[in-house]
Structure 1
Amino acid sequence: MLVLVSPAKTLDFENPSPTQKYTQPQLLKYSEQLISVCRELTAIDIAKLMKVSDKIAGLNVARFTQWQPNFTLDNAKQAIFAFRGDVYTGLDADSLTANELDKTQSTLRILSGLYGVLKPLDLMQPYRLEMGISLGNAKGKNLYQFWDSRITETLNTELDDDTIVVNLASNEYFKSVKPKLLKGNLITPVFKDCKAGKYKVISFYAKKARGMMARFIVQNDIQTRDQLEAFDAVGYRYSAEESTFNTPVFLRAEQS
């Protein structure tokens, strides 16, 4: 089973990681190409492109300037501990055991605008480059055109036709994957919360639920689509009535 998740805007490069183990990203030569493009941008360009404040734009000018590809534990951090945000709150990697952390390395893949695909223990340097932005580059007008089929091809090296691929990434990031070219059986869980008597996807809750499902898969050595139905964290329950094979739906009662 392979699980896909999105990265996060919020980063933590202040606190130490609980492990010294690390690996290197597979697609760094492409990251270097994007960094070269980003170094041509001014703070004003970045503020407009990313729709961020002048302060955040300035921070990212500095990040692009300082980025260099010889990653070590002194100048970089493992991705699973560097990313913070709702998905990673749900995943709670800091509390995983050493064996569970090893399991994430073979099970979890993080889609990234800058790095393409990251394993949890891949080192990364801080950045902000969301997959959906319109960053012109040698391959086209955005990052989807830049990455083209490279992300899918990278994932396919770890898949066969029978592998279950659990898509817990956002639409923005999963658009970087080409489902028709992807090996395996694609499963996209949906998490709905009751609001005013109706079930709907509420982004804040759904992001945390995706992280919790990733944790559930790792901790319980989930291997099949049917085993996913047992997921019941924080009140979610599988709904056979609303689900299809490829889209299992989990419902939760209204939160007080």
Structure 2
Amino acid sequence: MLILLPPSEGKATSGEGPRLDPSSLTFPDLTGAREEVAAALAEVCSGPEETALEVLGLSAGQTDALKRNLDLATAPTLRSADLYTGVLYDRLGLPSLLGSPAAGRARERVLVFSGLWGVVAPEDRLPPYRLSMGVRLPPLGGLGAYWRRAVSGPLGELAEGRLIVDCRSAAYAAAFRPKGATAERTVSVRVLHERVVSGQTRRSVVSHMAKATRGDIARALLAEGVDAATPYELVSALRDLGHTVELQPAAKAGTARTMDVVVQD
């Protein structure tokens, strides 16, 4: 099983570890691509501040992010498990999982997508940074398409024969789109909020709740040692753990399926 996660917009702002060693990160074949993106990011951040903020989709109050992006080579690092914060990561609790009997599963099954690094694992050491996958970074263009070209080979090889639980948002899903048999073993997690309005049951998608619930689902799979091999086994395991889940049919052969996690007030 592989659990694919987005990063978080909120990140820790300082580390205490050694400087970045790009070749030490998961998927060392991506080192060249990572260095290319880092160089392009530094070029943007060293230019006019107003332009850099616009390119990166940041507000005038986020200029500190530009400095962090310029200090990637020299800044102290920290594990990605500690770097990424926010609702999903608060509920997932990667640091506590890495200190528990589930540590091996967390190391082997969790992959985090990043606009700067492509794909990283929980114990990869990274400096603080700010770069969304949705950015069009001169001269590389859209980062989703850039990373899709780079990661499809190594990640496709790793994913062969494994169930993929995809908890990514749309921008990060663009960086890796499973195909063929791998797609048929992929389950995209969607969260639906169910409530009763005027006597009728209604469901809607709520983004903030979705982040929290995806964190809960990922933690449950890791902490409870679920090792499902098919979408049906995944659904059965989550129901046994008390979650209300529904597996939707695939649109056609060779495509991923959606698993709805239904939450109530």
**Is the pair's TM-score, using the shorter chain for normalization, greater than 0.5?**
yes
Q: Tell whether 2:166 aligns with 1:167.
A: yes
Q: Tell whether 2:205 aligns with 1:201.
A: yes
Offset of residue 194 of structure 1: 2.0
Q: Which region of structure 1 is more displaced relative to structure 2, 214-223 or 229-238?
A: 229-238
What is the Cα-based RMSD across aligned positions, in Å?
Answer: 2.6
Kept in 1, the 8 Å contact 2:16–2:76? The answer is no
The unaligned stretches of length 5 or more in structure 2 are: 18-23, 251-256
Q: Tell whether 2:255 aligns with 1:248.
A: no
- Runs of 4+ in structure 1 off by over 3 angstroms are 13-17, 181-184, 232-236
Kept in 1, the 8 Å contact 2:14–2:76? The answer is no
How far, CA to CA, are the matches of 1:251 and 1:55 in structure 2?
37
TM-score, normalization by structure 2: 0.80
Change (3 A) 1:137 1:183: farther
How far, CA to CA, are the matches of 1:45 and 1:51 in structure 2?
10
The number of residues matched between the two structures is 239
Equivalent in the alignment of 1:37: 40
1:55 to 61, 85, 90: 61
Please give the residue correspondences for 1:1-256 in structure 2 after superposition, counting only pairs within 5 Å: 1-14=1-14, 24-25=25-26, 26=28, 27-41=30-44, 42-56=48-62, 58-68=63-73, 75-96=76-97, 97-138=99-140, 141-160=141-160, 162-180=161-179, 183=182, 185-195=185-195, 196=197, 197-224=201-228, 225-229=231-235, 230-231=237-238, 236-239=243-246, 243-244=248-249, 246-253=257-264, 255=265
Change (3 A) 1:204 1:16: farther
How far, CA to CA, are the matches of 1:83 and 1:137 in structure 2?
27
Q: Which region of structure 1 is more displaced relative to structure 2, 47-56 or 128-137?
A: 47-56
Q: Secondary structure at the match of 2:262?
A: strand
CA offsets 1:95-151 (integer angstroms, 9 cap, x no match): 32433122111001001100000011111111111001121224xx21123223222
CA offsets 1:152-182 (integer angstroms, 9 cap, x no match): 222123222x311111111110111132278
* Aligned-pair identity (%): 20
The unaligned stretches of length 5 or more in structure 1 are: 18-22
Kept in 2, the 8 Å contact 1:239–1:249? The answer is yes
Kept in 2, the 8 Å contact 1:194–1:200? The answer is yes
CA offsets 1:54-89 (integer angstroms, 9 cap, x no match): 231x212211221118xxxx8101101110011101
Kept in 2, the 8 Å contact 1:13–1:77? The answer is no
Offset of residue 227 of structure 1: 3.7
Higher helix share: 2
Change (3 A) 1:181 1:150: farther
TM-score, normalization by structure 1: 0.83
